[in-house]
Amino acid sequence: MINTIQLVGTSCGILILAIYQPSSLILLLAIILGMWWWKQQEDNQKENAVEISKSSSLFDEPEAKFVDTIDFHSTEPSSLSSDEATELSVTSFQESAEELKTIRADFKQGQRPSSTESTKSSSSSFSLYNSVSYLGTGGFQYEWPGKWDSCAADVINIRGSNYLKDRIKVKSADALYEVIGCDLVRPDFSLKSIISKVKISYEQAPEVDPEWGVPRILIIHGLIPYEIGPMFGFSGHPEYDYGCNHIIYCKLSQNSRHMFTSGNISPAMKLWQKACAMRPAQLDSKELSLKAIGQVTNLESVPDIVKRFNGKPALITKSCNVHYDTDRMEFAFDIRQWAYLSRSGLSSLKSFFPKLDIEYAFLMESKEQIYLPEQLLACLKLSSLDPVTAKPLSKEEYDKL
């Protein structure tokens, strides 16, 4: 009955527009056609997702529904425009179409993509770290599916002292925190926070003076989905896709400790103290925002369109929840909540991940003159990172950690 009323009402509206506003009718038809096309694309994506869920051993039924939120990230002048992001997404999909077919075929069998086997040894300048995990008292033992190493902060460009006036970026001073370990796990449940399971001794990371107002340990935890998800909203994301979790463990650096003992505290450290004092449960675009910067160093391994945006910052706001536990702090951001263009662009590069050498950094965005220049919170190098080979983590294993 309701559908019949809606149909009659819509027909009458179109008829009135056709008589009195022909130009508006053309615009309306264009909008309807556009919405139909996007709906078709989303339906095709859902059909592919169902096909994977029937045959893949990577995913199981969820324990809870995801939160229905979406984070439309704000950008600064050097970030991607909507048209550029669309171009990046479409071009990347086209250039990597054959590799993505191989990736998807292997996904269905729960296997590592065969197209990346030959690229595993392409990186020679990285140290291989195995079993570097701080999950549980005894550590979470496994061979880390990739390579990571320390990274000099001055390879990343950040906002300079007068950025709000001259828009000039400069090289960052030393990072406030030092990366001491990483995890890449694939849980069979929704893993939203890891802080309660992290065990880092005072020998590994010395205690800090409470008057400094900053945590001894900083955890940066990103949830990376395997599927793009719906174009609009977040609640429609495939329920079986728990994604993989990339976790970075950091300790307060020696240089930061010297700042406090000498009294010469940098503007970025003052911003960090402010953020810690506010103890937000979630980041936002107005006051406290986290920026992530990925910089590929072997650009010959990526499509040309990606080179134009290499090293550009991504602003992380509402998709990031913040957790606290004594002298530890965790940023946990969920890429499933990012805007569709961001998610589709990342997904289109999925087949390239194992080939890339990336300088990866995080910092708090300085929005006021008194907190400039910016300074990295933490940075590291990543190589041969393959989300498909992330360590499986069951709920039972997690509870025992």
Residue 254 lies in a domain: yes
* Per-residue pLDDT tens over the stretch 15-70: 665 566 666 656 666 666 656 655 555 554 444 333 333 333 333 322 222 222 33
Is there a single domain that holds both residue 86 and residue 27?
A: no
Query: Comparing C-alpha atoms, which of 328, 132, 110 is closest to residue 219?
Result: 328
Is there a single domain that holds both residue 257 and residue 216?
A: yes
* Per-residue pLDDT tens over the stretch 187-244: 999 999 999 999 899 999 999 999 999 999 999 999 999 888 887 766 678 888 899 9
Residue 73 lies in a domain: no
**Kind plus residue range of the DSSP H or E element containing 86:** helix 82-95
Give the model's pLDDT for residue 230.
Answer: 85
Residue 366 lies in a domain: yes
Is there a single domain that holds both residue 89 and residue 15?
A: no
Give the model's pLDDT for residue 37.
Answer: 58
- Cα gap 297→279, rounded to integer Å: 35
Is there a single domain that holds both residue 50 and residue 123?
A: no
How far is residue 14 CA from its own chain's centroid? 44
Is there a single domain that holds both residue 49 and residue 197?
A: no
| Higher pLDDT, residue 146 or 361 | 361
Q: How confident is the model at residue 346 (pLDDT cuts 50, 70, 90)?
A: confident
| Higher pLDDT, residue 387 or 34 | 387
* Per-residue pLDDT tens over the stretch 236-266: 788 888 999 999 999 999 999 999 999 999 9
Segments forming the whole domain that contains residue 386: 82-400
**CB–CB of 358/97 below 8 Å?**
no
Give the model's pLDDT for residue 164.
Answer: 94
Residue 66 lies in a domain: no
Quote the pTM value: 0.71
Give the model's pLDDT for residue 299.
Answer: 85
The residues facing 357 across adjacent strands are 383
Instruction: Report the domain count for the chain.
Output: 2
Is there a single domain that holds both residue 112 and residue 261?
A: yes
Is there a single domain that holds both residue 23 and residue 145?
A: no
| Higher pLDDT, residue 306 or 33 | 306
Residue 68 lies in a domain: no
Residue 237 lies in a domain: yes
| Higher pLDDT, residue 62 or 289 | 289
Is there a single domain that holds both residue 224 and residue 125?
A: yes
Task: Compute CA distances 171 → 80, 156, 373, whole Å.
Answer: 21, 6, 10
